[in-house]
Amino acid sequence: MIRIHQEGKKILFGLLLMLAAVNLVVFWWVDIEWVENVLLLLSIVLYILVLQFFRNPKRFTQVNNSQVIAPADGKIVAIEEIEETEYFKDKRLQISIFMSPLNVHVNRYPISGQVTYAKYHPGAYLVAWHPKSSTLNERTTVVVKSPEGKEVLYKQIAGALARRIVMYAKPGQKVLQGTDSGFIKFGSRVDVLLPLDANIQVKVGDVSRGGEMVLAELK
């Protein structure tokens, strides 16, 4: 049975009512059987596509304070050293995960610990793989500090189709690695920023699995 994320329940219910109403109107007013059948088929396909977008499969996280796990499903599109200007204000290693509309869009905490920073930024809607989307797009920035004192920053970044980012993190909150940290509705990207001495365990082109795949080991 498909588990549906809480962020999708209202949308799916509203879509179901809308599609049912459209099909009923066509059934009563358009007496053409093939039109009715095509509309019904298209309605079913559309509903299944939206349904799978909001799926929330169980993930089995092996909690480990020395490891950083993938916060999202998708494809690793960049691993690079950048200058982080919002929180750390120094150089960091950035791993970027692109999430297509077909991916699970649940976001998960990459490490356990305390949220030391959480901020929402309004912005543009460049395509999620655009190099400047990390700083220009609508996004959130969250920093979690592990019990060992290591801080990991991650960003939820809206894409060209995304128009709503949901962030659960609040400053001072204690969080557990692998649990839900938010949701991005439709195509998007997540960046994870790590210390320069982190031991990266992935490469560009790898397919990430949120809550389970190890991105890096912290020293």
What confidence score (pLDDT) does residue 104 get? Answer: 82
Which residues lie below 8 Å from residue 218, measured CB to CB, with a gap of 6+? 66, 67, 68, 146, 148, 150, 152, 194, 195, 198, 199
Cα 38 from Cα 164, distance rounded (Å): 31
What confidence score (pLDDT) does residue 74 get? Answer: 93
**121 membership: H or E segment, kind and range:** strand 113-121
What confidence score (pLDDT) does residue 205 get? Answer: 95
Tokens of 164: 């709503």
| Residues of the chain with confidence (pLDDT) below 70 | 1, 8, 123-136, 159-163, 186-187
Share of the chain above pLDDT 70, in %: 89
**95 membership: H or E segment, kind and range:** strand 90-99
- CA of 188: how far to CAs of 83, 114, 172, 192, in Å? 22, 25, 27, 14
Cα 173 from Cα 165, distance rounded (Å): 19
Tokens of 77: 């599109």
What confidence score (pLDDT) does residue 29 get? Answer: 85
What confidence score (pLDDT) does residue 33 get? Answer: 84
Give me the active site residues, please.
Answer: 188
Cα 38 from Cα 156, distance rounded (Å): 38
3 state SS of 15: helix
What confidence score (pLDDT) does residue 107 get? Answer: 93
Q: Which of 55, 61, 54 is nearest to 1 (CA)?
A: 55
Cα 156 from Cα 142, distance rounded (Å): 9
Q: Which of 84, 89, 119 is nearest to 192 (CA)?
A: 84
